[in-house]
Structure 1
Amino acid sequence: MSNWLTRVGKAHPPFRGRLIALPHAGGWPSAFTPWRALVPDDVDLLVAQLPGHGARISEDPLRRVEPMVEGLVEALLARDPLPLAVVGHSFGSVLGYALARALEERGRPPRLLVVSARQPPCFPDVAPFAHQRPEEELVEHLVRIGGLPSRPDRHKVMTGPVLDAVRADLEAMETYRRPAEETGVPILAVGAADDPVVVTERMPLWSLETASAFRWELFEGGHFFLYTPQVASRVIAHAVRALPLGGGQAGEQALADTNLQVARP
């Protein structure tokens, strides 16, 4: 089995659906380990493990979204076909959006895409780019947004392959360009009002990236709010609701059944 995806926790088949989680820039599968206790046993929880991350840390990281998506798509298509929901955080939102589109093209669209802590592709990154920052400046940025403890002795772990993976993911995110047409996959966008990275007002504009249902919800908790138990449990509930035993409109229904804010231009 491909090592592009790693299962979190013990398997409890038969599964009624599959939840694909995509971490932040430089993130390892362990970022989603606490989610296993919140995801129902009949939902398969798989987390992306990109080259240069986790157990693949000895591999050279990729610096573009397209080859990452190619690897993930092939890994998913090699598994039994189950209803899918995709959740991406920060860089993982860009990767999740591209993955959802690629699966859609292959006739296996996710029932729901959850994007977190990232502006929509209609706002492309412009210079100066984070991935081009000097090492000390990049580390300081990670500390500022909460991605690295402020203790100086902990910064030593952010050198070599680990920092290379962060930089490569940031480059992939910052060079990604929006396709000409939107996806047909329903989107749930979640953000934090106190996120030091993302402009909150841009999160509702993920509505421009889908021709299907769209909702958004606002939390507190900084840039990494998605990993807190309270937010994780709510997001998981939405994602799991999109994975029924049958039916073709599960993603739209999962959004319609909530009290999320609606944002349409």
Structure 2
Amino acid sequence: MRAGAGAGGPGPGPRLRVVAFPHAGGWPSAFRTWWQVLPADAELLVAQLPGRGARIGEPPITRVEPLVEALSRDLAGREPLPYVVVGHSFGSVLGYELTRAMEQKGLPPVLLAVSARQPPCFPSEPPFAHARSDAELLEHLMDLGGMAPQLMTRADLVRPVLRAIRADLEAMERYERPLSGTGVPILALGAVDDPVVIAERLHLWSLETTGGFRRSMFTGGHFYLYAHANAAAIVRDLLAVFPGPPDGDRGRHLPRHPETVPGGDPERFPGEETP
């Protein structure tokens, strides 16, 4: 696991932290646009689960509980910083459960942002997507814009991608609503043109918290969260929950220029150890 502030070079450490969870099968690179719009004093941690990226050789995990247990242990062991949690699609389930786990440790986030996922009061029902054939699952991903057409002929690339996606979908579809929610405020995010999520159901994330609740809608389909303009707008909203930087440190709060973003994947936050 690599740790680092939002921008390289000398200077004080990060002032705040964003913990992010991508969609089913997602790699840390899904949040590459967020690197371009986060301020220089923000640390971005993106979950990299087994079966993808640097962990491609590990078997994927098909249940939420062991993933969250290891992720929360990892986060609790880091240097304390005020932080927000952001989850997209399947990542919303992990983000919600991580928030609850961190509350139990006395280390809750300032805010939980859930994106493109219906609340737990609407459990998944059969037929489950994880049980689809490879061809059916690929067609579904193509319809959502979650699979590049040029990859369709690359079995060596598609096979591990489908394995990770199928594992995450199974974890999400077998997930059951907990008996208690969270006291952390929730921001529900979605796209009005998302073909998967019924936009009006996002309001019901308010049932999962005794804290504040807001909803913010965008356009851009199921993967709207990764579009540069939408990422910039969401980041501005998230940063509003933190106190401003000291007057003498205003320059570090400016968004980094894309050319200054380190190459490769965003910050890796594996967390999960395979049993």
Contact 1:112–1:187, Cα closer than 8 Å, also in 2: yes
What is the CA distance between 1:155 and its match in structure 2?
5.7
The answer to whether the Cα contact below 8 Å between 1:8 and 1:33 also exists between their aligned partners in 2 is no
The amino acid across from 1:196 in the alignment is: P
Taking the aligned partners of 1:63 and 1:15, their CA distance within structure 2 comes to 33
**Which structure carries more relative contact order (alpha carbon 8 Å, separation 6+)?**
2
What TM-score do you get using the length of structure 1 for normalisation? 0.86
Runs of 5+ consecutive residues of structure 1 not aligned to the other structure: 247-265
What residue is the counterpart of 2:114 in the other structure? Answer: 115
Paired residues of 1:22 and 1:95 also in contact (CA < 8 A) = yes
> How big is the shift at 1:187?
0.5
Shift of 1:240: 1.7
Render the CA deviation track for 1:18-56: whole Å, top value 9, x for unaligned: 100100000000111221121111111111111112111
Instruction: Tell me the equivalent position of 1:141.
Output: 140
The answer to whether 1:159 aligns with 2:158 is yes
Write the deviation string for residues 50-104 of structure 1: whole angstroms up to 9, x where unpaired: 1112111111111111111111111111111111101110000111001100001
Unaligned runs of 5+ in 2: 246-275
Q: Which residue of 1 aligns with 2:48?
A: 49
RMSD: 1.9
Other structure's SS at 2:65 match = helix
Question: Which whole-Å CA distance do the structure 1 matches of 2:97 and 2:128 have between them?
Answer: 20
Distance 2:174 2:75 in 1: 25
Quickly say closer, same or farther: Cα 1:125–1:6, change in 2 above 3 A.
Answer: farther
SS state of the match for residue 159, structure 1? helix
TM-aligned CA deviation for residue 241 of structure 1: 2.0
Q: Secondary structure at the match of 2:24?
A: coil
Task: Provide the residue aligned with 2:249 in structure 1.
Answer: none
Q: Partners of 1:68 and 1:47 in 2: how far apart?
A: 14
Distance 2:195 2:56 in 1: 28
1:186 alignment partner AA: P
> What CA distance in whole angstroms lies between the structure 1 residues aligned with 2:24 and 2:133?
17
Paired position in structure 2 for 1:24: 23
- Measured in 1, the distance between the counterparts of 2:128 and 2:97 equals 20
Kindly indicate whether the alpha-carbon contact (under 8 Å) linking 1:121 and 1:178 is maintained by their aligned counterparts in 2.
yes
Partner of 1:255: none
| SS across alignment from 1:31 | helix
Q: Identical aligned pairs, as a percentage?
A: 56
Going from structure 1 to structure 2, the CA distance change for 1:201 and 1:44 (only over 3 Å counts) comes to same
Shift of 1:160: 2.5
Counterpart in 2 of 1:254?
A: none
Paired letter, 2:35: R
8 Å contact 1:57–1:162 — kept in the other structure?
Answer: no
Aligned residues: 243
User: In the aligned structure 2, how far is the partner of 1:10 from the partner of 1:56?
Assistant: 25
Q: Contact between 1:6 and 1:29, CA under 8 Å: does it hold in 2?
A: no
Deviation at 1:245, TM superposition (A): 6.8
Q: Is the 8 A contact 1:187 1:207 kept in 2?
A: yes
Amino acid across the alignment from 1:191: G
Matched residue, 2:61: 62
Equivalents in 2 of 1:138, 1:13: separation in Å? Answer: 46
CA distance in 2: counterparts of 1:183 and 1:74, whole angstroms: 18
SS in 2 for 1:188: strand
